[in-house]
Amino acid sequence: MSYILNIETATTVCSVSVSKGQELLALKELDNGYTHAENLHVFIQEVLNEAKLKPSDLKAIAISKGPGSYTGLRIGTSAAKGLAYALGIPLISVDTLQLMTVAAQKSEIKASYFCPMIDARRMEVYMAIYNTNLETHKPVEAFILDKNSVSVFNSYDSICFFGNGMTKCKEILSSLKNVSFIDSVVPSAANMPHLAYQKFLDSDFESVAYFEPFYLKDFFIIDKNK
């Protein structure tokens, strides 16, 4: 059986699931700020217990690779790589924005294109655009939304926005025609099984030694004493 452990820590949501093929067996998650360090390994043990599995039953570890929080991604990636190395099983990475789109497509909203947005502070968001087949129409980028830049979406006949980045920009986005919004979509390991299992079947694996999360933007340390 292709049991896969799925880890999602790209935002404030700490989420872990276990799947068999594309079937979700167990899920544990909490959206309570950046509590990943204290909760992640506890959640991993809890989902394994719920699914009545041992770590040795796993065939792969899947990690939501970003973009997102630097600290959250580091914690999730470290755990995923450590488990994959210790168990001698493959490491799979899943695009965070794409897995959010999986959740959006489960809703009753009908659209030709889907645009997940993760808050990147101020009026900047991490975003991409996917079609109904989850194919990338506009690649992941850090995008500053204002009254002028929003015009880039006018070429889409119908587009759905979601994610915490959408929430802060909803007023600007509402000026567009043929748009819809979903308020409840967050990155969740519940939506990773389909994407992770397809990569497992394709043997699309990451190097456990060299894999790094997709931060999108460089991480800077600021010395407040200067």
CA 72/CA 53 separation, integer angstroms: 26
Q: Note the pLDDT tens digit of each residue in 144-178.
A: 999 899 999 999 999 999 999 999 999 999 999 98
Q: Mind listing the domains of the chain with CATH numbers?
A: 3-95+187-201 (3.30.420.40), 108-182 (3.30.420.40)
CA 38/CA 32 separation, integer angstroms: 12
**pLDDT of 216:** 81
Cβ partners under 8 Å of residue 132, min gap 6 = 105, 111, 112, 113, 114
Q: Note the pLDDT tens digit of each residue in 19-42.
A: 999 999 999 999 998 899 999 999
Can you say how many angstroms the Cα of residue 17 is from the centroid of all Cα atoms in its chain?
13
CA 163/CA 109 separation, integer angstroms: 14
> Model's pTM, two decimal places?
0.93
CA 80/CA 63 separation, integer angstroms: 6
